[in-house]
Structures are given as C-alpha cells and as structure tokens.
Structure 1
C-alpha cells in the first residue's frame, strides 16, 4: 500500500504531498513533467503534489530528463522505480501495448497508477488491469484529460439546462497528420488512428450522451495505412436505443477542425477543439449564436487529471469519479468492437 492512500488528515498535518513518478521519457512524459513542475509552483496545487522521479530503460536518458525538470530521482529501469517506497503515484507514459503489464507491475508493488489513454490496447487487458487494482486495493485511472477538465462540467450544465432542448444527435472529430511517428503505424504498438486520436471523439460522445443509454449498434469503416494495415482514418456511427445517433471521425493523415457538435430539438452547441475545449458556442433553432461560454485558463490542461488522482489517493479511492473503471472498460469494449468490424487484429492478440 502507498504511504498516503486514505491518509488525507495525516498528510495535511505533516505537510506531505503526493509524490508523482513518470514511467517513460517520451513526448507525453515531457508534457506531464512540465505540468507537475507548474503545479508544484502554483498556490492551488503546491500543497497537493510533488514531481519526484522518472524512469526509462536508458539510465542516462532518465537522468537527463530528471535534470531538465528538477526531479529529485531518476532510474534506469522500471523495477527500480516501483521499489522506491517514496513513490505514491506512477504516471504511465508508454505506448498502448505496454500499459497493462506496466500498470500491473506498479500496482503489485504498491503504487497507484495514472495510465495514459488509451487505458490498454484492448478490453481483455483492461479487465486484467482492473482486476489487479481490485486485488491490490491500488488506485488505477485512465489519463484522458478531457474527462477531468472544467469544460466537461460546462457542457453537461448547458445540456442539463434544457437550453438546446432534447439532444438527438452528436458529432465529433479529431484528426492530426501524425503518421510519421512509428508508434502510430506499427501494429505491434497498437498503432493506428483509433486508439490514439479516435478515443477522444468517442469519449466526447460518451460524455455528452451519458452512460444511461444503451448502444444498439455501430456502423464503421476505415482506410488502412499501407503497408502495415492499421487504420489511417476512420468513421463511426453509433445508434442508441432511444433514437439518438452519434458520429465520430478520426485520422492520422489529415488536419481537421476538431469540432464537437451537440444537436438538440431547440438549438445546438459547438465546442471548439474536443481535445482541449477552448469555448462553447450556444445556438438557437434559428442558427443564431446566443452566447459564448469561455473555458477557464489552465496551466497545461493535464493538471486536472493529476489533481483528481492525487485527491482520490488521499481519500482512499480506487478510481476517479471523472473516469470510473466502468467508463474506461466500456470505451475499450467499444473500440474492440469497431476493430472487429474492420478485421484489424494486433500481432500480440
């Protein structure tokens, strides 16, 4: 068990912070390191978390990373990292195919985990990971930042207000030309657009629609990346039991507007950039924009998932309210079903 799980009063009395370690030293790890440094220097989060350690398979790379961001400790192996008794939370920043085994390594060593999206490469891995979380009592949560951001509450509030009437359709897309990155094109790394960028429009839809509806069927198609066969771009249509229809598109070969659209009987919402919503425009049924709702300024955007996880640890929880295990598993199962329709199977499956 981590030294701070369920010990908020003790931590506050002794001035202890949640020590965060980063497993991996790639691009997203650098983004998280910058976030942790900014959080530690901020009045809002400075008493909550501390950037503590980084581990990579290359000790020199880890040491250079730690020096760059002022981390106290670095390790040349993941096993050394999880053996450190002062690590409270491990952020896993490696390719999708490694998430399950690394999260399990951490949890069995008594470390809580914040696992970069997608949670795993498939639902079977997710079930195994979450079973270990239950067995060990460690917190395990998916680091899909849009689930934790204030924009989620803003959108939920606008829908709940009835301002746009009853929601009947949703559309979302996320597309970036990122096919030059090997992790995106290699099926052995669970590459392709779906798990890396497609997960965002699917989560946007899931948040807007809510988990109360029953998904009846999915229609989907994709264009393969040659020669590896992973999805270069895709389109998905989701049909729900109450007649609501949602569409999603993702691509790793083009740029798009990254828009999120929630259409109701009396108006609609336009969300600027579903990957990090900047503002929400509210329109009435006559296509007149009635107002714009700005999203609060942020440090980097990653601070919300870190703070939610740290607070959950202090409160003795095994999941975060913003992204409970059931939601992560439902999204993984949905992406499995989509890949099955394409006939896309990763080599390790």
Structure 2
C-alpha cells in the first residue's frame, strides 16, 4: 500500500473493540474509518464516541465497503471464522482477535481461503507483536541467567460469570480466552519442540473449563508449567529460571517490567517496557507493514504458528471433554 494512512475498520463494538478504537485514534498511520455492529444504533454510538467516519448495522456492509483496508475482528471466538471468512471473500485484509478460531479445522479453512484469494490475515495475539517480548527473549538467552531450564507462567482474572467464558456456544472457557497467553509465552521463550504435554482442568456446569494447569516437556529437557483461571485473579507473572539466576516478568498478558535476580535472590537489574499507547498498536502496525510489503502473514505470528497453537488447544479440549457446537459443524 502506498498511501500514508490506512483505513481501519472494527467489526464488533464490545469492550476490546473500544480499547482498540482508543489505540487507533493515536496512531499516525491509521484512519479510524468504519465500525459495524449487529445493531446500527450501537455502531453509530461507537462511531461518534471514537471518531469513526462510517457506522454499519450489518457486517456485510462493512465487508463490502471499498474504502476499508484492514478489518479488526473483535467478536466472540465463536464468530471469528464466520466474520473473517466474510471479510476474505470480499477482499478485505484481516486482523482477527485471539483465539483465532473455535478450532483448528476452522483455522485451516480460513488460512486456505486467504491464500487462495491472496488476502492478508493474522491473529491478534498482542504479546507476539510487542517489542518488549523480544527484549525478554533476548535477556533469557543473553547469558545473564545462564542456561535456562524452567519456565512458569500464570494468568487469572475473576471473569467466570461472563457469558463469553461461561457458554460453550460462545466457545467459552479459560483456555481460549486466557490460556493462549501462557502458551504463547512459553513458545516464544522455549520454542516449539515440545515432546510431552500434561494437563488438568476444572469445568463449570456447562462443561467448559474454568481453570487448568498445563505442563510442557521440551526435547532439550526444559519445562514450562502454566496455570490459568477464570475464577480468580492471580499474579500474572512469568518466571524464567536458569543456572545463574532468574527473570521475573510482571505480567505475561502485557509485560511492563522484567527483573533479573541472581541465585541468592538478589535483584540484579530491572528492564522497563518503553512507553506504549496500549500495546494493541504493535499488531496493527505489523499488519499495515505487511500489507505495504505485499505479505499475506506477519513474521511476528506466522500462519504455521497460529495453526500449531489451535491444534494444541484442540488437543487439550479433547482430553478434558470440552466440546463446542462448532466442533460438530462442517466448514462453509
């Protein structure tokens, strides 16, 4: 793309859509162009609040607007496939909120369709795009803590009551909403050569997972141990331990600080995240940069990694007996 500013549209008007809108307002490469909701009155109110030019009461109207360059999909997990497919078939580049789809089959179909139509699509797992995530990885392998051996990561919020968590028809549960963060954190730090996965979960009355523990054993002997809960808040920390010390990341969901400790538990140094708008700007900028370069995916979150993680999530849900309606539906 040659033009200076790109017209970005948001499909959906929920909480995360508002956070993205507030971010887009402050980005120099972006025009807050259009928003769509199932109700026109909501779309118009959102557009007025956040300064969007167009408001649509049908998602199809947004997808067919020739002025839209990039669509951010902010609807529930259960609808990502349908809405991303709509955008792809109308030639629109897609930044799709995590989890990418309900299951790996849907992900495979979307990625096949995007490739067939030569359309850009990427998963909006924001930590993958953050420069500070690269800083953390560089620290781990800089030698400052020696050879790393163990990683722990926790994420928890008191959100079990929310519809998007509680209901299987919305692809609810802690795994797709929260579990993707420690899983991505572990794979960003220790890689993908996972030899064995062990896990346990606790489900609600609707049969979706509310909290779980997940352990990865890597081929090189490293281990990653993760805990996720929608029942309560926890420390959200990620800790990478090595032979000479350990690194404490304050919040794996949006890391702002990495503190290095020695083997005597003495603080050695603190690294702070550079100022940011919200953290969402990096996934948007990566998408715009990819579009300008004519790419169909981003180096920060390749399609192969999105698909690998969706297969991993499927594997965990199958072991736990967590089933979504989408699991039994044929692809469109």
TM-score range (shorter-chain normalised) is: over 0.9
**Superposition pairs for residues 193-342 of structure 1, below 5 Å?**
193-211=174-192, 214-225=193-204, 227-342=205-320
| Superposed displacement of residue 257, structure 1 | 0.2
3-state DSSP class of the match of 1:242? coil
| Corresponding residue of 1:19 | 7
**TM-score normalized with structure 1 length:** 0.92
3-state DSSP class of the match of 1:121? coil
d(CA) in 2 for partners of 1:122 and 1:248?
A: 21
3-state DSSP class of the match of 2:288? helix
| Superposed displacement of residue 286, structure 1 | 2.2
| Corresponding residue of 1:137 | 118
d(CA) in 1 for partners of 2:57 and 2:173?
A: 29
Q: Does the 8 A contact of 2:257 with 2:272 survive in 1?
A: yes
**TM-score normalized with structure 2 length:** 0.97
3-state DSSP class of the match of 1:348? helix
Q: Could you list the per-position Cα deviations for residues 7-28 of structure 1 after superposition, in whole angstroms to 9, with x for gaps in the alignment? A: 3xx32xxxx4111000011111
| Corresponding residue of 1:74 | 55
Unmatched segments (≥5 aa) in structure 2: 328-332
Q: Does the 8 A contact of 2:244 with 2:262 survive in 1?
A: yes
d(CA) in 1 for partners of 2:41 and 2:69?
A: 24
Give the total of aligned pairs: 327
**Superposition pairs for residues 159-174 of structure 1, below 5 Å?**
159-174=140-155
Task: Say which of 152, 164, 170 aligns to 1:183.
Answer: 164
Aligned Cα root-mean-square deviation (Å)? 1.0
3-state DSSP class of the match of 2:31? strand
Is 1:60 aligned to 2:41, yes or no?
yes
Structure 1 residue runs of 4 or more that deviate by more than 2 Å after TM superposition? none
3-state DSSP class of the match of 1:201? helix
Is 1:34 aligned to 2:22, yes or no?
yes
